[in-house]
Amino acid sequence: MNNREIRDLAASCGFQLAGVSGVEAAPDFGRFRDWVDRGLAGEMRYLTDHRADVRNDLAHLLPGVRSVISVGMLYNGPEPYSTEFSSPERAWISRYAWGDDYHTVVRRKLEVLAGKLMETECFRWRACVDTAPLLERSVARQAGLGWIGKNTCLINQQMGSWFFLGELLTTLELEADEPAAARCGSCTRCIEACPTDAIVPSPSGGYELDARLCISYFTIELRSAVPEAHREAVGQNVFGCDICQDVCPWNRKAPREAEAAKAELYAPPLERLAELSEAEFKKLFRETPVNRAKYNGFLRNVAIAMGNAGLPQFRAPLERLAAAPDLLVREHALWALGRLS
């Protein structure tokens, strides 16, 4: 089977991008290891513990692996970008979290792709979506899906960066595609637009993400208090951040093929979010990525957004949050009340 046939099969499974790479050591592993050793991963222990070094050898994930099929699934919908949005009474949830959990969606499509490939040849395979210990953007770049931009997102010249990535590790011997050339040029729009200056020069050249300054890290991964110095810059973001992709010129004409967002996930009212019980939170976000923030972490984020909005109508809900049993929620609600004053 040639790579064109693989791309056609991938397209029939719902993937707009597909390519093949070999299984040699990831060219970015040294850079990743240095990034981890300098502490830029913050508290994301799944990047810094024993799983860090596993990323240098795909055979840890599938013994006998010979080729990797990388795929990309578009999630850019018809809604406006966060940089076009101005409603202080509403929250912003990152675009990728407006639908069903991508881990489940992409994995199911990968399993269908594996089944179609198995119709012509018997082989062993393993589907990976985000959580497996491999450098998926590097693998996708090697497979020709795009280049890694200054904002550290994978960018495709024709389709931009609004893609979920997935990998099908196989024991098939396939011809590798050519890696994509970097085309960010002298553009620095993502760097200039980042409210927390999280995109920083890398000692090895180019740019890298200091996760400890990233709004997505603050609102999703961080389990402790958001540093007070950065709370104002979080703005209305209660889960993730899209700014560095919103301003990317390569996304200007990015196709918008995804379904419209679930009504309750696109810019929901902050007051409604502040009123959620833990049971309501779990029910509302059960099958979405938002659940990763956890209930108290999410209320922490809602409190910050209310404080940044500065609307008098938020005093009552913030006073209720300031009396919450969780110390983290109380601290941020009191900070937000101070902003209203």
Catalytic residues: 130
Token code pair at residue 234: 């979080």
**CA atoms of 241 and 220, how far apart (whole Å):** 10
Let me know: does 239 contact 293? Beta carbons within 8 Å. Answer: yes
Token code pair at residue 209: 């993400």
DSSP state of 66: -
87 Cβ contact partners less than 8 Å away, ≥ 6 residues apart? 236, 267
Closest CA to 95 of 120, 77, 83: 77
Closest CA to 290 of 240, 329, 236: 240
Closest CA to 73 of 141, 155, 18: 18
Let me know: does 79 contact 73? Beta carbons within 8 Å. Answer: no
Query: Containing H/E element for 92?
Result: strand 92-93
Per DSSP, the chain holds a count of helices (H) and strands (E) of 15, 10
Alpha helices in the chain (DSSP H): 3-12, 29-37, 45-48, 51-54, 102-118, 136-142, 189-193, 215-216, 228-234, 243-246, 270-274, 278-285, 295-309, 315-322, 327-340
Place of tokens 């959580």: 131
Token code pair at residue 120: 């012509």
Indicate the residue type of 191.
Answer: I
Query: How many C-beta neighbours within 10 Å does residue 253 have?
Result: 10
**CA atoms of 320 and 89, how far apart (whole Å):** 17
Let me know: does 164 contact 72? Beta carbons within 8 Å. Answer: yes
